[in-house]
Amino acid sequence: MNVSKLKQLNGYPSKTLLLVSGLLLGSMTSSAQEVEKSSRAGTGVYEAVISKKDGHIYVTGAGSRTAPGGAIYKINPSSLAIVDSISLKDNPPFGIGINNKTQTAYTTNTRTNSVSAVDLKTGKVLATIVNGADKSHTREVLVDEVNNIVYVSDVGDPSSIWVIDGKTNKYLHSIENLGKTATGMSFLNGTDKIFLTVIGENAVYVVDTKSKQVEAKFASGGEGPVNITTDGERLFVANQKSGTVTVLDGQGTLLQSIPTGAGAIGIAYDGVKQRIYSANRQTGTTTVIDAKTLAVLGDFETGSHPNHVKVDPVSGAAFVINKAKGGKPVEGQPAVVDTNGDTITRLN
């Protein structure tokens, strides 16, 4: 705000000045957000989780054409250095979820239509889980730590959700008939209902985990809803095709549609700083949104293809996982090295 506008406030009630002061302070706070550091995170990186036990970030890497294989990379949150890795070369991982109580990570191995249960303390693969079907497409992981149940979205037409027993790490059953191309999942107010994004219908399904039925469905408010998260009261949906984050209440009422960037795919809520993060894969940016006012605080270039965001629940630091640029190698030409891809970026 310029000086002349401040002078115009003379004679106004003191609460107006306090409001302006708050706006100025908010502006100063938002401008303090910055890209602190970027570092290599592995090969073919895709998603990440943060362990509440050891504070490290665990990133999935599915390998590449020139470096086949797969692994979970353990990354130091301060230096962003890879300090260890767990080989998953037989089942390259893409999505990942974590049960912080048992320190077990669950990865979706899309190429082999399976899920791996991995003990993060020992690095041992506890189980490779399949559902017995001839065809499946495991995508996202949602963990109910209270009941030790793992839910995995299986993309299809119709889609389904796998239900896995976290005690035995065995497939129990599937919740069927969940629409065309279902992907992201989130709980809201307990673990009895899963809010599921369905890309092919631009919709969110409400799935009752007890009855195993679709209780309700409503529009996502955007096109191509991929992933979803919550602050405990509202739902935040990343809509890839429309390049927006939509904010809805639990009944599906659209509260706000926020333009972010083309290819909005990753979404995270920060309860420490009251912010929402949208990873926009096509623009190479991550959008930061004030969760209270729903105003955009800034767009930050974080890597070639920002794909996933995780927030440290203690510090509020946000970590963005950036995919590398694809493309088949051209015979007779040198391989193109994407220095901004296969990276992890810290926003603080």
* Tens-place pLDDT, residues 259-302: 999 999 999 999 999 999 999 999 999 999 999 999 999 999 99
Residues 121-180: tens digit of each pLDDT? 999 999 999 999 989 999 999 999 999 999 999 999 999 999 999 999 999 999 999 999
Asked whether residue 82 carries a pLDDT value surpassing 60, the answer given is yes
Amino acid sitting at position 119: D
Can you say how many angstroms the Cα of residue 29 is from the centroid of all Cα atoms in its chain?
A: 24
Residues 288-338: tens digit of each pLDDT? 999 999 999 999 999 999 999 999 998 899 999 999 997 555 565 556 678
Amino acid 47: pLDDT: 98
Residue 2 DSSP code:
-
Amino acid sitting at position 236: F
Name the token pair of 104.
Answer: 């077990």
Asked whether residue 45 carries a pLDDT value surpassing 60, the answer given is yes
Tell me the backbone φ, ψ of residue 247, rounded to 5 degrees: -115, 125
Q: Match 């279902």 to its residue by tokens.
A: 182
Asked whether residue 23 carries a pLDDT value surpassing 80, the answer given is no
Instruction: Compute the Cα dihedral for 322, 72, 43, 114 and give only its sign.
Output: negative
Predicted model pTM = 0.89
Amino acid 333: pLDDT: 58
What confidence category does residue 116 fall into, taking pLDDT thresholds of 50, 70 and 90? very high
Query: Nearest-CA neighbor of 24 among 40, 5, 41, 43?
Result: 5
What confidence category does residue 190 fall into, taking pLDDT thresholds of 50, 70 and 90? very high
More confident residue, 186 or 13: 186
Amino acid 329: pLDDT: 56
Amino acid sitting at position 280: N
Q: Match 């391989």 to its residue by tokens.
A: 335
Cβ-contact 218, 246 below 8 angstroms: no
Amino acid 227: pLDDT: 98
DSSP-assigned letters across all residues of 302-326: --SEEEEEEE-TTT--EEEEEEPP-
What confidence category does residue 348 fall into, taking pLDDT thresholds of 50, 70 and 90? confident
Buried b (16+ CB within 10 A) or exposed e, 177-205: ebbebbbbbbbbeebebbbbbbbbbbbbb
Please measure the distance between the N-terminal and C-terminal CA atoms of the chain and give it in whole angstroms.
25
Amino acid 22: pLDDT: 38
Instruction: Compute the Cα dihedral for 132, 135, 136, 137 and give only its sign.
Output: positive
Residues 106-115: tens digit of each pLDDT? 999 999 999 9
Amino acid 51: pLDDT: 97
Cβ-contact 276, 318 below 8 angstroms: no
Domains defined along the chain, listed by start:
54-219 (2.130.10.10)
Amino acid 335: pLDDT: 61
Amino acid 66: pLDDT: 78
Secondary structure of residue 185 in the 3-state scheme: strand
Cβ-contact 120, 144 below 8 angstroms: no
Amino acid 18: pLDDT: 32
Cβ-contact 110, 139 below 8 angstroms: yes
Please give the average per-residue pLDDT across 226-241, as a whole number.
98
Maximum Cα–Cα distance for the chain, whole Å?
A: 74
Amino acid 8: pLDDT: 32
Asked whether residue 9 carries a pLDDT value surpassing 80, the answer given is no
